[in-house]
């Protein structure tokens, strides 16, 4: 999900051809389209047609085929011209868009990318299952081919904003005789199709931002398949890496100096002098430095990106972000003392937008919401495995079922 950035858009020089191409496209686009006088959907559609949606995508797919970091230049210029910020309810286009652009057929790209970018069609993610969370490749939702359609039966869980989505990124088991990483296929699921049921999952915040989704004899057109049959694992990795990038900070806006630690600074400044203990001030500065190091590291990783699909580095960023948020907002609650226990409404509600940090809804909400950061997008334990194996080169954990047919793997 792209947004206005406070950092330099690119380190390229003025003579860099990619930069000049984007600047020229922006000049021409803004000369013909005034964001302050256009409907936002119409403006974003024209932006897509001009190749200024995801500039690193291919021409005709909402892009110009240039470096991904130039998206920040686009966002800055358009926001300065008065364009509205990206709707947080379209968060999942940061996941589905790159997956479709990388693995989808030309017909699939043409069908889904533009309405996804304009916000006319919102998406959710249908990956985890009650028996296949961290072991995502162990999923059991079945898709059986019936001519030009697939019949899907199964259950998904922890599906963020599925109650608002028009389409879901659905991964299914299409070949139970193949090893678990081989027999998976990826689809775009129409959330309004017959047989799709969305049920709320109430969280400790009082919200039901998460859902469980049941599919009973749901018919999915083969034209909505994303990638080849049996190649769902590869397509899923693209989604997951972009999700970790978005949650970890590489796929969104660069926050101001200090990032989320500024919330703790605000609490500190609100305290009476008698409650400002020197030891807490030292802890505050440590959290601020840690948050700033993470912010600058994410900026560097984003500027050094060479392709649209992130590498394992962003899994490390996602791990750091999760642990930072949990510790930071626990510290904020400690600073508030007994005041942290009051003035919070636990009434059941269905949210209309997404805030993964929770900071825009107050510290008490954030303290509760960030517990999910170490689970969503891959648990912190999985992130540590990726860090150890793919970045540090450590031996992998034993995986005795990797080559065993899925239907022969023992299950609880």
**Which residues in 156-182 are b (16+ Cβ under 10 Å) and which e?**
bbbbbbbbbbbbbbbbbbbbeeebbbb
Which secondary-structure segment (H or E) carries 173? strand 167-173
∠ CA 11-14-20 to the nearest 5 degrees?
100
Window from 168-172, 191-195, 309-313 with minimum mean pLDDT = 309-313
- Give percent above pLDDT 90 in the chain: 65
Q: DSSP of 21-38, one letter per residue? A: HHHHHHHHHHHH--TTTS
pLDDT in tens, 16-35: 899 999 999 999 999 999 99
Average pLDDT over residues 106-121: 97
Q: List C-alpha distances in Å: 135 to 132, 138, 379.
A: 5, 6, 10
Spatial separation of the C-alpha atoms in residues 189 and 221, rounded to whole Å: 9
Window from 235-249, 266-280, 368-382 with minimum mean pLDDT = 235-249
For residue 18 the two structure tokens come to: 């990619």
Residue 90 pLDDT grade (very low, low, confident, very high; cuts 50, 70, 90): confident
Average pLDDT over residues 183-203: 97
For residue 267 the two structure tokens come to: 């609490």
β-pairing, 149-157 vs 142-146, is antiparallel
Spatial separation of the C-alpha atoms in residues 106 and 125, rounded to whole Å: 22
Residue in 329, 339, 327 with CA at minimum distance from that of residue 264:
329
Q: Is 168 a residue whose pLDDT tops 70?
A: yes
Find out whether 282 and 317 touch, Cβ atoms under 8 Å: no
- The reported pLDDT for the residue numbered 402 is 81
- The reported pLDDT for the residue numbered 7 is 40
Mapping DSSP to helix (H, G, I), strand (E, B) and coil, where does residue 290 land?
helix
Find out whether 301 and 268 touch, Cβ atoms under 8 Å: no
Average pLDDT over residues 163-179: 97
Residue 8 pLDDT grade (very low, low, confident, very high; cuts 50, 70, 90): very low
Mapping DSSP to helix (H, G, I), strand (E, B) and coil, where does residue 186 land?
strand
Furthest CA-CA distance within the chain? 74
pLDDT in tens, 57-89: 999 999 999 998 899 899 999 999 999 988 877
For residue 203 the two structure tokens come to: 């969280």
- The reported pLDDT for the residue numbered 310 is 64
Find out whether 126 and 189 touch, Cβ atoms under 8 Å: yes
Which secondary-structure segment (H or E) carries 169? strand 167-173
Average model confidence (pLDDT) across the chain: 88
Task: Give residues with Cβ within 8 angstroms of 115, minimum separation 6.
Answer: 121
Distance of CA 305 to the CA centre of its chain: 17
Spatial separation of the C-alpha atoms in residues 96 and 99, rounded to whole Å: 5
- The reported pLDDT for the residue numbered 250 is 47
The model scores a pTM over 0.75: yes
Find out whether 143 and 152 touch, Cβ atoms under 8 Å: yes
DSSP conformational letter for 222: G
Residue in 57, 59, 80, 82 with CA at minimum distance from that of residue 70:
57
pLDDT in tens, 293-350: 888 877 776 655 545 566 677 778 888 889 999 999 999 999 999 999 998 888 999 9
Spatial separation of the C-alpha atoms in residues 176 and 173, rounded to whole Å: 6
Residue 359 pLDDT grade (very low, low, confident, very high; cuts 50, 70, 90): low
Find out whether 140 and 129 touch, Cβ atoms under 8 Å: yes
For residue 20 the two structure tokens come to: 């000049």
Average pLDDT over residues 202-214: 94
Average pLDDT over residues 86-95: 86
Spatial separation of the C-alpha atoms in residues 378 and 388, rounded to whole Å: 15
Q: Is 357 a residue whose pLDDT tops 80?
A: no
pLDDT in tens, 273-290: 989 999 999 999 999 999
CA dihedral 45, 46, 47, 48 (to 10 degrees): 50
Residue 253 pLDDT grade (very low, low, confident, very high; cuts 50, 70, 90): low
Q: Is 10 a residue whose pLDDT tops 50?
A: no
Q: Is 254 a residue whose pLDDT tops 70?
A: no
Q: Is 3 a residue whose pLDDT tops 60?
A: no
Would you tell me the crossing angle of helices 106-118 and 40-49 to the nearest 10 degrees? Answer: 140
Q: What phi and psi, each to the nearest 5 degrees, are found at residue 252?
A: -120, -165
β-pairing, 123-126 vs 167-173, is parallel
Q: Is 244 a residue whose pLDDT tops 60?
A: yes
Spatial separation of the C-alpha atoms in residues 220 and 195, rounded to whole Å: 11
- Looking at per-residue confidence, does 10 or 39 come out higher? 39
């Amino acid at each position: 999900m792209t947004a206005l950035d406070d950092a330099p858009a690119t380190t390229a020089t003025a003579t860099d051809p990619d930069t000049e191409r984007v600047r020229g496209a922006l000049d021409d686009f803004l000369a013909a389209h005034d964001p302050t006088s256009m409907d936002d959907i119409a403006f974003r559609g024209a932006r897509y047609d001009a190749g200024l949606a995801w500039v690193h995508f291919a021409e005709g797919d909402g892009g110009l085929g240039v470096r991904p970091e130039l998206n920040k230049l686009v966002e800055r210029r358009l926001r300065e011209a008065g364009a509205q910020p990206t709707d947080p309810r379209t968060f999942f286009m940061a996941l589905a868009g790159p997956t479709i652009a990388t693995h989808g057929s030309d017909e699939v790209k043409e069908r889904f990318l533009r309405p996804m970018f304009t916000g006319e069609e919102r998406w959710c993610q249908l990956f985890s299952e009650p028996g296949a969370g961290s072991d995502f490749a162990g999923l059991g939702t079945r898709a059986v081919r019936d001519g030009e359609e697939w019949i899907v039966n199964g259950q998904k869980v922890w599906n963020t904003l599925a109650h608002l989505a028009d389409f879901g990124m659905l991964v299914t088991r299409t070949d139970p005789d193949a090893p678990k990483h081989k027999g998976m296929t990826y689809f775009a699921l129409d959330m309004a199709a017959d047989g799709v049921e969305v049920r709320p999952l109430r969280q400790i915040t009082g919200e039901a931002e998460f859902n469980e989704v049941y599919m009973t004899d749901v018919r999915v057109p083969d034209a909505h398949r994303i990638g080849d049959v049996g190649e769902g694992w590869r397509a899923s990795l693209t989604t997951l890496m972009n999700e970790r990038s978005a949650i970890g900070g590489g796929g969104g806006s660069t926050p101001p100096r200090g990032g989320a630690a500024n919330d703790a600074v605000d609490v500190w400044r609100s305290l009476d002098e008698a409650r400002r203990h020197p030891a807490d001030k030292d802890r505050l500065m440590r959290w601020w430095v840690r948050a700033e190091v993470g912010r600058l590291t994410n900026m560097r990783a984003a500027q050094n990106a060479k392709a649209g699909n992130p590498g394992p580095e962003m899994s490390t960023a996602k791990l750091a972000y999760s642990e930072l948020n949990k510790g930071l907002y626990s510290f904020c609650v400690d600073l508030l003392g007994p005041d942290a226990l009051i003035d919070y409404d636990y009434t059941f509600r269905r949210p209309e937008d997404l805030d993964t940090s929770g900071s825009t809804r107050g510290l008490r909400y954030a303290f509760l919401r960030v517990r999910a950061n170490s689970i969503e997008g891959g648990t912190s334990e999985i992130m540590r495995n990726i860090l150890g194996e793919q970045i540090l080169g450590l031996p992998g954990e034993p995986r005795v079922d990797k080559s065993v047919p899925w239907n022969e793997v023992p299950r609880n």
